[in-house]
Amino acid sequence: MSDASRAAAAPDGQRPRRPTKDELLAAAGKTVPDLIKPDLTVLFVGINPGLYTAAIGHHFGRPGNRFWPALFESGFTPRLLTPCEEAELLSYGLGLTNLVARATRAASELAADAVRTTLEDPEFGFTGLHAAAAVADTLGTGDTVLLGASNPVRDASWVGLPFDGVDTYAPRGAAGIDGSVSQAVGVALATQAAHPDEPRAPRTVALLGDVTFLHDVGGLLIGPNEPHPENLTIVVANDDGGGIFETLEIGAEPLRASFERAFGTPHGASICELCAGYGVAHREVTSLRELLDALMDTTEAPLGLSVIEARTTRTTRRALHRALQGKIAL
Ligand SMILES: Cc1ncc(C[n+]2csc(CCOP(=O)(O)OP(=O)(O)O)c2C)c(N)n1
Ligand SMILES: [Mg+2]
C-alpha cells in the first residue's frame, strides 16, 4: 500500500494521541472494552492488551501494530482503519476481544507472573523451572544467556525470557542436546572477545539439563594454551534424566512401567567429580535460595568457567505443568 493511501485512510483527528511515559506505566492492569455484538462473522481474539493500547483505550493501539494493516490488506475492511475507528468494525460483522483482559508490558509477563506464584508452592519441590526462574532473576543488562534444548529453553520462556538487554542464545535449530557445553564456551569466548576494553569480561550464563551437559561434558576440556572463558557460569539443572519426557504422553501413569528405562534415563553420574576431572569449579545447590545465592556470587566475582549443579526433581514436573496450564491459557 502506498504512503498516500495510508495517509488518506487515516484522516487527521482520528489518530490516537501518543501517551506519555507516565500514562503508559499507569496503564498496567487496565482493560479495553470488548467490541462485540451477536451474530458477528469473525471475532478476533488478542492475547492481552499492551500498555500503549490500554493507555489510549483502543485495541491494537501501538503505532506500527500490524493488526489494522493486515485487516485492510486481507480485505476485511474497505480501508485502513485507525485504532480510534475500531467501532466501525462492528458494521462489517467483525468484533474484538482478548484472552486476558488486563494490560501488561508483554504477553509473556502474564505467564511469568503466574509461574512465579506457582513456584512458591512447596508441593513442587525444587524443579528445573525454579532453576530457570533463578537464572532469569539474576541476569543483568549486558549479560548473555545460553539456553539448552529440552526443558531449559521452554522453562526460560515460562519465566519471561528473552528480555531486553540480555543477548539470548538457544541451539533450537535442530533441537539437539548435543554440543551445548562447547557452544556455551564459544559464546562466552566470543562475548568477552567483543568487549576487550571492559575491566572484567561480560557475564555469560548457560542453563543446561543434566543429560545435555553430560552429552558434551568433554567441552569442559580446554587446552592450557587456548583462550579460557573468564566469566561463564554453567547452571546444570540436574533432575537425573530427561525431565521433559515426564510432561509428554509417555509420562502418564499407565505407561510408567517402561518410562524410567526408555525415557527417564537416570544416570547417577557425579557431575562434581566430572568437573574436578576437568579442573572446573563446581558448586552444588539444593534449593532455590541456594541457587540464587550462588548465582549472585558469580555476579560479584567471576570464577572463569564454573558449574553450578542444581539438584532438581522431575517427579513433580507433570503436576507442575498441569498447575501452570490451569492458570495460563496461552
Ligand atoms: C543429539 C540429541 N539426542 C537426543 C535427543 C532427544 N532428547 C531430547 S530432550 C532429551 C533429554 C534431555 O535431558 P536433560 O538435558 O536432562 O533436560 P531435561 O529434559 O531434564 O530438562 C533427549 C535425550 C536430542 N534432542 N538431541
Ligand atoms: Mg534432566
pTM of the model: 0.73
Distance 258 CA to ligand 2 centre (A): 17
Residue nearest to atom 26 of ligand 1 (CA): 176
Task: Enter the CATH code of domain 107-325.
Answer: 3.40.50.970
Q: State how far the Cα of 115 lies from the Cα of 113, in Å rounded to an integer.
A: 5
Task: Write the DSSP assignment of 155-203 as a string of letters.
Answer: HHHHTT-S-TTSEEE---SS---TTHHHHHHHHHHHHHHT-TTSSSPPP
The residue ranges of every structural domain in the chain are 3-98, 107-325
3-state secondary structure of 6: helix
Q: State how far the Cα of 118 lies from the Cα of 113, in Å rounded to an integer.
A: 9
- 224 preceded by a cis bond (ω within 30 of 0): no
Distance 184 CA to ligand 2 centre (A): 17
Q: State how far the Cα of 240 lies from the Cα of 128, in Å rounded to an integer.
A: 11
3-state secondary structure of 88: helix
CATH topology of domain 3-98: Uracil-DNA Glycosylase, subunit E (3.40.470)
Q: Which residue has the cell 546444570?
A: 236
Distance 271 CA to ligand 2 centre (A): 12
Q: Which helix (H) or strand (E) holds 21?
A: helix 21-26
C-alpha cell at 309: 549443579
How many of the other CB atoms lie within 10 Å of CB of 283?
Answer: 19
Query: pLDDT tens per residue, the chain (330 residues)?
Result: 333 333 333 444 466 677 776 787 788 889 999 999 999 999 999 988 888 899 999 999 877 677 999 999 999 999 999 999 999 999 999 999 999 898 876 656 667 778 888 999 999 999 999 999 999 988 888 899 999 999 999 999 888 888 878 899 998 655 799 999 999 999 999 999 999 888 889 999 999 999 999 999 999 999 999 999 999 999 999 999 999 999 999 999 888 899 999 999 999 999 999 999 999 999 999 999 999 999 989 888 888 999 999 999 999 999 999 999 878 754
pLDDT value at residue 20? 77
From 126, 244, 248, 321, mutation site for ligand 1 pocket: most ligand atoms within 8 A of C-beta: 244
Which residue, among 125, 124, 146, has the nearest Cα to 135 in the 3D structure? 146
From 135, 172, 177, 313, mutation site for ligand 1 pocket: most ligand atoms within 8 A of C-beta: 177
Whether 50 and 106 have beta carbons less than 8 Å apart is answered as yes
Neighbours of ion ligand 2 (CB under 5 A): 209-210, 239, 243
Whether 209 and 151 have beta carbons less than 8 Å apart is answered as yes
Distance 175 CA to ligand 1 centre (A): 9
Q: State how far the Cα of 291 lies from the Cα of 268, in Å rounded to an integer.
A: 21
Ligand 1 cavity residues, CB under 6 Å: 128, 149-151, 175-178, 209-212, 239, 242-244
